């Protein structure tokens, strides 16, 4: 679930530092004599330390997320003397991108920003970071969760670095599973989950009073399940929309059947903002449903003395689940100076090292971007009493990359409309997806 982001003030930093066009190492300077002549310093003169490179890092995080980001910035600044990061806070991700667009137009850009935009990378607004990564002695690209790392690539080059990730996992009531004699570790497929949901469902006079499971409203959960079954949104050449294939129709119609015919599942829809999301969580926490599918970021809102977490399942005869795992990424604007780019990469490398990405996961519920975070001592200690923290990272290791809609959102919009028809209106998936395919294909064909 998205955190409500509030504007918070950036902490003031000690003034007096000067931005240089080079960083690191010692330097010597010429000394002006009394007669105005320039002379070299004497051999006995102490070498002058170079001034740290001060850079701005823009990010749209408020509340506890903002506090944790600021804590890591301060920790980084205290850890070395070459770079000073000045955090500049925006209200949310959208505002960050809007302000970055204005900054690019004026040429006064930050050195690093918690934002990514594939189109802007292709237009040259962001700098590729492949060479910058190789200059960092402690940068281990192979240790990153590759599902996340790949999302930062544009046309074969790395433009963005994953900072943290999110994916939707399964949260379930431990008492409901125990009461029905269900071992959650045995639920490896959606077929297993459907059978368990039927067993846990309680009906009174044909009306369901306790639901065996609650998917989250929208296309997201059903897309995850379809990808896990081997479905694709576009053909390999990107020219054909494939959302009416058997994998899509069979998967989506099962969700329709579970909700409308079997009545072992339900969704909450509509309302203001995230109202439907909170209602879904409340059903589980208040004992009206056995479990639901939610974000890794929900963990701060859940009581894990009541619930636990598990990965999304796969399908019988197909394999493990492949739900979308999305990275929140940072980039370096191309108009930053070379020294600022190097300083920015030093900061981003620090944020994403094993210990710090583990810290971020522990304190926010979001996913570590490094596989080695699972072995970080603090993460290991935390996970011993909070095993749910490992589930999103484990799932992300075999997750699917988020879909980049080439039509500017029209394919995603068609899927959203189709999902409402299936989940709310009980329209057969074949009919809803056929209409969505026609709309999406027409939008895609206009790009030719």
| 3-class secondary structure, 214 | strand
Same domain, 176 and 307: yes
Q: What percent of the chain has pLDDT over 90?
A: 76
Can you say whether residue 160 is alpha, beta or left, with left for phi > 0 and alpha for psi between -120 and 50 degrees?
A: beta
Q: How far apart are CA 117 and CA 435, in angstroms?
A: 30
Q: Return the axis-axis angle of helices 338-351 and 63-79, rounded to nearest 10°.
A: 110
Other Cβ atoms less than 10 A from the Cβ of 131: the count is 12
Quick one: 9 exposed, middle or buried, by C-beta within 10 A (0-12, 13-18, 19+)? exposed
pLDDT in tens, 196-225: 999 999 999 889 999 999 999 999 999 999
pLDDT in tens, 2-21: 433 322 333 322 233 233 23
Same domain, 195 and 304: yes
Same domain, 152 and 181: no
By residue range, what is the domain housing residue 276?
A: 167-325+403-445
Same domain, 60 and 116: yes
Same domain, 134 and 60: yes
Q: Are strands 202-204 and 325-331 parallel, antiparallel or unpaired?
A: unpaired
CB 9 within 8 A of CB 63: no
pLDDT in tens, 354-399: 999 999 999 888 899 999 998 999 999 999 999 999 899 889 889 9
Geometric angle at alpha carbon 267, from 265 and 268, rounded to 5°? 150
For residues 196 and 32, which has the higher predicted lDDT (pLDDT)? 196
Same domain, 162 and 172: no
Assign 404 a pLDDT band (cuts: 50, 70, 90). Answer: confident
Q: How far apart are CA 345 and CA 57, in angstroms?
A: 11
- Our count of domains for the chain comes to 2
Q: How far apart are CA 414 and CA 433, in angstroms?
A: 9
From 365, 380, 396, give the residue that closes a domain.
Answer: 396
Average pLDDT for residues 414-434, to the nearest whole number?
98
For residues 435 and 409, which has the higher predicted lDDT (pLDDT)? 435
């Amino acid at each position: 679930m998205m955190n409500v982001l509030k504007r918070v003030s950036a902490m003031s930093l000690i003034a007096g530092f000067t931005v240089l066009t080079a960083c690191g190492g010692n330097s010597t300077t010429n000394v002006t004599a009394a007669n105005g002549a320039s002379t070299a310093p004497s051999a006995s003169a102490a070498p002058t330390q170079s001034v740290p490179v001060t850079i701005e890092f823009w990010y749209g995080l408020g509340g506890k997320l903002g506090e944790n980001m600021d804590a890591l910035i301060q920790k980084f600044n205290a850890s070395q003397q070459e770079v000073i990061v000045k955090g500049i806070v925006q209200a949310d991700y959208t505002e960050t991108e809007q302000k970055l667009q204005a900054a690019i137009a004026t040429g006064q850009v930050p050195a690093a920003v918690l934002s990514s935009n594939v189109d802007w990378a292709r237009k040259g607004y962001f700098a590729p970071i492949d060479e910058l990564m190789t200059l960092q002695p402690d940068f281990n690209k192979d240790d990153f969760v590759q599902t996340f790392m790949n999302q930062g690539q544009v046309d074969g080059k790395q433009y963005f670095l994953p900072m943290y990730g999110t994916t939707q996992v399964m949260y379930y009531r431990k008492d409901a599973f125990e009461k029905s004699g269900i071992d959650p570790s045995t639920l490896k497929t959606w077929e297993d989950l459907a059978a368990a949901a039927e067993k846990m469902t309680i009906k009174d006079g044909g009306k369901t009073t306790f639901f065996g499971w609650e998917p989250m409203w929208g296309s997201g959960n059903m897309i995850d399940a379809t990808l896990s079954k081997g479905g694709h949104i576009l053909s390999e050449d990107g020219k054909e929309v494939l959302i009416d294939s058997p994998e899509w129709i069979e998967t989506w119609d099962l969700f329709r059947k579970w909700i409308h015919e079997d009545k072992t599942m339900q969704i909450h829809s509509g309302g203001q903002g995230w109202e439907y999301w909170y209602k879904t969580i409340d059903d589980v926490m208040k004992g009206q449903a056995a479990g639901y599918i939610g974000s890794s970021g929900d963990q701060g809102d859940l009581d894990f003395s009541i619930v636990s977490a598990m990965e999304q399942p796969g399908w019988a005869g197909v394999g493990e689940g492949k739900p979308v795992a999305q990275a929140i990424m940072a980039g370096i604007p191309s108009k930053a100076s070379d020294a600022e780019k190097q300083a920015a990469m030093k900061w981003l490398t620090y944020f994403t090292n094993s210990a710090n990405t583990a810290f971020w996961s522990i304190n926010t519920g979001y996913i570590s971007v490094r596989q080695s975070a699972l072995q970080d001592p603090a993460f290991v200690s935390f996970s011993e009493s909070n095993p749910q923290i490992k589930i999103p990272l484990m799932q992300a290791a075999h997750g699917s990359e988020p879909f980049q809609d080439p039509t500017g959102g029209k394919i995603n919009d068609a899927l959203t409309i189709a999902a409402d028809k299936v989940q709310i209106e009980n329209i057969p998936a074949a009919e809803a997806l056929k209409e969505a395919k026609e709309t999406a294909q027409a939008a895609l064909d206009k790009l030719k």
